[in-house]
């Protein structure tokens, strides 16, 4: 799930780690742009993660350009900095894992996961809860890569 710039690609190559072709990376970023456009049409703030981009509120779209056991696609994480800060503060300062702030943040993440999946499926994307692909990506959305027509972004895997 990394955006690999030329320095990272060279390092990975030197260490014998596979990295995606330029075509693969371009296709992933085109898919990310399509997803962002569709989320924007629905009124959802969305942006593609790049090394120089700071975290923002909304849907953070990250291209999965790894060459591991997972199918290539996108991860979408809902970012609510105000809620996250309050939840983290409750955990660290009050040492309260059952804090209402933490529960509120977690519930908003899950509600947004459901909403994002629904919006993207309506648009023809193949979107699933990310934990179906990666068990540590709970609350995120995974959009499977595939081909999309210019008129409707239908992706491999169905809706």
pLDDT at 89 over 80: yes
For 121-131, write each residue's pLDDT tens digit.
999 999 999 99
Q: How far apart are CA 65 and CA 2, in angstroms?
A: 6
Q: How far apart are CA 17 and CA 44, in angstroms?
A: 36
For 15-28, write each residue's pLDDT tens digit.
666 666 677 778 88
Q: Which position has the higher pLDDT, 119 or 97?
A: 119
What is the pTM assigned to this prediction?
0.76
The pLDDT value given to residue 23: 75
CA distances from 123 to 37, 49, 113, 129, 158 (A): 11, 22, 16, 16, 11
Q: Which position has the higher pLDDT, 149 or 29?
A: 29
Q: What DSSP element (H or E) covers 49? A: none
Give me the sign of the Cα torsion angle 100, 105, 110, 111.
positive
pLDDT at 158 over 60: no
Name the pairing type of β-strands 46-48 and 127-129. unpaired
Instruction: Give the DSSP letter of residue 144.
Output: E
23: Cα within 13 Å, side-chain hemisphere: 2
């Amino acid at each position: 799930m990394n955006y690999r710039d030329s320095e990272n690609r060279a390092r990975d190559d030197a260490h014998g780690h596979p990295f995606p072709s330029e075509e693969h990376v371009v296709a992933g970023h085109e898919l990310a742009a399509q997803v962002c456009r569709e989320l924007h049409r629905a009124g959802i703030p969305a942006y593609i993660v790049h090394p120089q981009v700071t975290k923002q509120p909304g849907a953070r779209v990250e291209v999965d350009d790894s060459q591991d056991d997972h199918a290539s696609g996108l991860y979408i994480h809902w970012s609510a900095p105000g809620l996250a800060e309050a939840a983290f503060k409750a955990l660290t300062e009050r040492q309260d894992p059952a804090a209402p702030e933490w529960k509120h943040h977690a519930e908003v993440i899950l509600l947004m996961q459901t909403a994002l999946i629904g919006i993207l499926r309506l648009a023809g994307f193949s979107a699933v809860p990310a934990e179906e692909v990666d068990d540590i990506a709970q609350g995120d959305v995974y959009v499977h890569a595939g081909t999309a027509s210019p008129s409707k972004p239908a992706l491999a895997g169905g809706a």
